[in-house]
């Protein structure tokens, strides 16, 4: 039997995250949106301490939260969905700036060794994949990694790296041998300040302005030999190559539902503010009758709520599958595509519904609309998600369906 209710421990996490977002993030959202490139956000320290004290870190939360209940787990991924959605409703950019919740942490949690999780799990870890000539095609990474004695030497350039400036460390995708294709792509932990790591620039952006997005240059960047995530061996058979790259890509199966949750959060926040304004103007939704028998504005709000609920359930399903060891690449892509598109539509429509009030900086709705656009793009664009779903449904490889 399907149970669509969240268990009590997840509800408790949701309530605590909501309180943290409303107490710490929402009041300073506009301030840091305007500051954009602040070196640090001291107001986040109490929230970071609360999060790390409550759940340990991304690498160990699955163990702490994943006790079996009748053979079913609701662990790190499920917890992440509900807490991310609540935090993003406070301010998605500030949420991404909280120490210890970087995208690199998800990679370490997914494929890191126990020693790597212990060493890096509590640090703020960014992720560097995208390159000037390699956007959505992750298998075309050109940054190289060569083993030199007890060190890996990295050379290449990365762009659009979230938390690349503020992160304690950066998980970098690089190839051991360009001629071997995607089988030779591995990920490496590069500590901030490593010899040969250079910050080229920090981007000015439309949304998520306080969350730093950096361009990085690796010039003979030396890192310890043990800082590779996974095996340094290059698979020698087609099946083994698929499995090896699949391990690297597993990170996305965990993080795409989290990004979907970001879209849920900003859309929920925009809708809630819209309801507050409408109520002050004497417009209250009845939630009764069909969309054909209510005013047009009410009908549209009903439809947006339906899309948002569909996105939420898809995201929870993808997270539940990950927690329970079930392959979820298709489901992760579906929820990211649905939530990303829905979040973008809902926030922009709320701006339009509120008119000049929505377009002005008097409310945060225009900020949520700006934030929502990149959520639909990063971690794989709408088109890439649809391609992943098509490949899975048709049983075709990336080589057969491009």
The residues with which 198 forms a beta bridge, in sequence order, are 217
- Among the residue ranges 25-39, 43-57, 150-164, 290-304, the one predicted with the least confidence is 43-57
pLDDT band (50, 70, 90) for residue 233: confident
Ranges of each domain in the chain: 8-117, 125-236, 239-394
What is the Cα–Cα distance from 343 to 167, expressed in whole angstroms? 27
For residue 381, pLDDT over 70 is answered with: yes
For residue 58, pLDDT over 60 is answered with: no
Phi and psi at residue 335, to the nearest 5°: -70, -35
pLDDT at 66: 39
Question: What's the CATH architecture for 239-394?
Answer: Up-down Bundle (1.20)
Give the fold, CATH level 3, of 125-236: Butyryl-CoA Dehydrogenase, subunit A; domain 2 (2.40.110)
pLDDT band (50, 70, 90) for residue 297: confident
| Per-residue model confidence as pLDDT tens digits over 82-125 | 999 999 999 999 999 887 777 888 788 878 889 999 898 888 89
Q: Choose, from 131, 298, 331, 379, the residue flagged as catalytic.
A: 379
- CATH number attached to the domain at 8-117: 1.10.540.10
Q: Please report how the helices 238-280 and 103-111 are oriented relative to each other, as an axis angle in degrees rounded to 10.
A: 140
Phi and psi at residue 119, to the nearest 5°: -75, -40
pLDDT at 235: 67
pLDDT at 62: 37
Q: Do 8-117 and 125-236 come out as alike in CATH topology? A: no
Active site residue 115: no
């Amino acid at each position: 039997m399907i149970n669509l209710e969240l268990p009590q421990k997840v509800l408790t996490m949701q309530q605590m995250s909501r309180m943290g977002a409303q107490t710490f993030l929402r009041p300073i959202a506009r301030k840091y949106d305007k500051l954009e490139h602040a070196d640090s956000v001291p107001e986040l320290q109490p929230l970071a301490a609360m999060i790390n004290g409550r759940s340990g870190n991304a690498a160990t939360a699955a163990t702490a939260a994943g006790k079996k209940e009748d053979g079913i787990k609701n662990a790190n991924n499920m917890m992440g969905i509900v807490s991310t959605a609540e935090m993003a409703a406070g301010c998605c950019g500030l949420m991404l700036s909280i120490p210890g919740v970087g995208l690199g942490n998800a990679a370490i949690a997914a494929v890191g060794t126990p020693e790597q999780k212990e060493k890096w799990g509590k640090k703020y870890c960014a992720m560097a994949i995208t390159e000037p000539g390699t956007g959505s095609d992750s298998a075309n990474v050109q940054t190289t990694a060569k083993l030199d004695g007890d060190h890996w030497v990295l050379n290449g350039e990365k762009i659009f790296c979230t938390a690349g400036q503020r992160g304690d460390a950066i998980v970098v995708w690089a190839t051991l041998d360009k001629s071997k294709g995607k089988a030779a792509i591995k990920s490496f932990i590069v500590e901030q300040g490593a010899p040969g790591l250079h910050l080229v620039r920090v981007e000015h952006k439309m949304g998520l302005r306080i969350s730093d997005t950096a361009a990085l240059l690796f010039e003979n960047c030396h890192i310890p030999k043990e800082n590779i995530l996974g095996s340094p061996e290059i698979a020698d058979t087609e099946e083994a190559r698929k499995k090896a790259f699949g391990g690297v890509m597993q990170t996305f199966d965990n993080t795409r539902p989290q990004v979907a949750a970001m879209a849920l959060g900003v859309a929920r926040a925009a809708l809630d503010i819209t309801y507050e304004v409408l109520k002050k103007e004497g417009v209250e939704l009845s939630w009764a009758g069909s969309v054909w028998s209510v005013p047009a504005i009410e009908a549209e709000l009903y439809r947006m709520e339906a899309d948002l609920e569909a996105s939420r359930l898809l995201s929870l399903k993808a997270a539940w599958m990950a927690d329970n060891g079930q392959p979820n690449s298709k489901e992760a892509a579906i929820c990211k595509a649905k939530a990303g598109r829905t979040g973008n539509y809902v926030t922009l429509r709320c701006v339009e519904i509120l008119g000049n009030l929505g377009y002005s900086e008097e409310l945060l709705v225009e900020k949520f609309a700006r934030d929502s656009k990149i959520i639909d793009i990063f971690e794989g664009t709408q088109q890439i998600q649809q391609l992943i779903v098509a490949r899975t449904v048709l049983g075709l490889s990336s080589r057969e369906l491009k």
